[in-house]
Amino acid sequence: MNSTNQRIVSIDFLRGLTIASMIFVNNPGSWGAWDSVNSKWINHLFLPFSHSHWNGCTIADLIFPFFIFIVGTSIAFAMGSKKQNFKNHNHLIVKVIKRGLVIFLLGVLKDAFPYFHLVNGEYELWSPLDWRIPGVLQRIGLVFIIGGIIFIKSSPKVLWLTFISILLGYWGLLYIEIPGAYELDLTVPNKNFGAWLDTKVFTKNHLWPNSREDGWDPESFFGTIPAVASAIMGMLAGTYIKSEKTVLEKVSGLFFAGCISTFFALGWNILFPINKTLWTSTYVLYTGGIAAMCTAFCIWLMDYKENHKIAKPFIIYGLNPLTAYLMSELVSSLIHNIQVGEASISRHISYFILRWFTETPFNEIFANHPDLISAKWASHIYAFLWMIPYYLILRWMYNRKIFFKV
């Protein structure tokens, strides 16, 4: 196998690991329960696999920026040589815009699925007037369009300048305060320029259902700006990987750059906290640095040491990432909204697993409860089992060389 193919295998592995992790993190048996007596949310997940409450970064918080980083790396792989011919630019830009818009539309349709909701035991149709517009795939689509155009039209030097400008510019923009509209407070999600802009562009009716009343969305339109910087980090890494340097030089270079980025983020964190919901500039540097180090490790493991056995299960996910993600999200939405008896299908499955440990239901397991650890194990067992049928389907597709791309 030549070096170019090996490098692509490394990226496919990391992409697949990211998608598999996303499915695992997004589908626990129980996110938690509200303790009404103490007015406190009790988490039913182990901390590394639970998103940070606000500032900070857990393993779960690494997954989305890792995927954005890989999107950037893939752009560099796919377009690096093609953009050298200036006559190709318009053609490449049209392809980037079309692909990004398809991804965006799929995200809107995915978030609205199954187009009805289970509310207090009753089925209610979900009108397009209430569909969520921002979302995970929507952000990926926008990042692909903006990042792709920037890459096509930029030299490595311009990419660096754009990257630095986004980090510093977003830092300033996030501290904008509009008198009479909101009082700036970056300790909550809805009192900043990004949340205000989302409510003006989309209105509250088209934001994440769980936060509409407060007027914010975790995949904010404004937060797409620093997400582009995360993709640019991937582009710079991809360009470096495609260079003529030796494998060990690439490994050491990526690892060193990742270390510098991570340590710089930790220092800047004192002034500008690492925060996923706001996608702060420090979050870009911190997660991008770790992504660069993980990429270096994958290249060392698979290209230099030629240890490919661990790679194949994740490559199966990585070669059909959109299919894997959509299958997981659509089926999850469906079984959460189909009621059998007095509970949804997903609730029946999660309680069945919980009963392996205890007869106490999830909604009664609070802090200091003897079964809290059991609830966490049951939640993660549910998430792990959730991954198996998708792996089997994707493996069948892989064996028959069926790969869906947009």
Query: Which pLDDT does position 119 carry in this prediction?
Result: 75
Q: Is the pLDDT of residue 314 over 60?
A: yes
pLDDT category of residue 323 using cuts at 50, 70 and 90: very high
The answer to whether the CB of 276 falls within 8 A of the CB of 68 is no
Type of residue found at 226: P
Residues 188 and 238 in one domain: yes
Asked which of 285, 306, 327 is the last residue of a domain, the reply is 306
Nearest to 173 by CA among 279, 287, 300: 279
- Rounded CA separation 295/73 (Å): 10
173 and 297 in a single domain? The answer is: yes
Does residue 294 share a domain with residue 167?
A: yes
pLDDT digits (tens, 9 = 90+) for 275-311: 999 999 999 999 999 999 999 999 998 878 877 778 8
pLDDT tens-place string over residues 61-94: 999 999 999 999 999 999 988 888 888 899 999 9
Cα Rg of the chain (Å, integer) = 22
Give the model confidence (pLDDT) of 192-223 as tens digits: 999 999 999 999 999 998 899 889 999 999 99
208 and 269 together in one domain: yes
333 and 192 in a single domain? The answer is no
Residue 5 has pLDDT above 70, yes or no: no
Round the average pLDDT of the chain to a whole number and report it: 92
Verify that 250 and 399 share a domain, yes or no: no
Number of H helices, E strands in the chain: 13, 6
Least confident of 102-106, 245-249, 279-283, 380-384: 245-249
| 68 burial type by CB count under 10 A (0-12 exposed, 13-18 middle, 19+ buried) | buried
Residue 107: CB partners within 8 Å, gap ≥ 6? 135, 136, 137, 138, 139, 140, 141
* DSSP letter (8 states) at residue 401: T
Residue 8 pLDDT class (50, 70, 90 cuts): low
Residue where one domain finishes, among candidates 306, 328, 361:
306
The reply to whether 230 and 119 lie within a common domain is yes
Same domain as 282, residue 404:
no
Looking at the fold, whether 87 and 156 belong to one and the same domain comes out as yes
Are residue 264 and residue 135 in the same domain, yes or no?
yes
Domain tally, the chain: 2
3 state DSSP class of 125: strand
Based on the fold, state whether residues 62 and 162 are members of the same structural domain: yes
Least confident of 139-153, 235-249, 299-313, 341-355: 299-313
Same domain, 41 and 147: no
Last residue of a domain, one of 306, 328, 347: 306
β-partners of residue 124 are 117
Domain span including residue 112? 56-306
Give dist(CA 315, CA 338) in Å, integer. 33
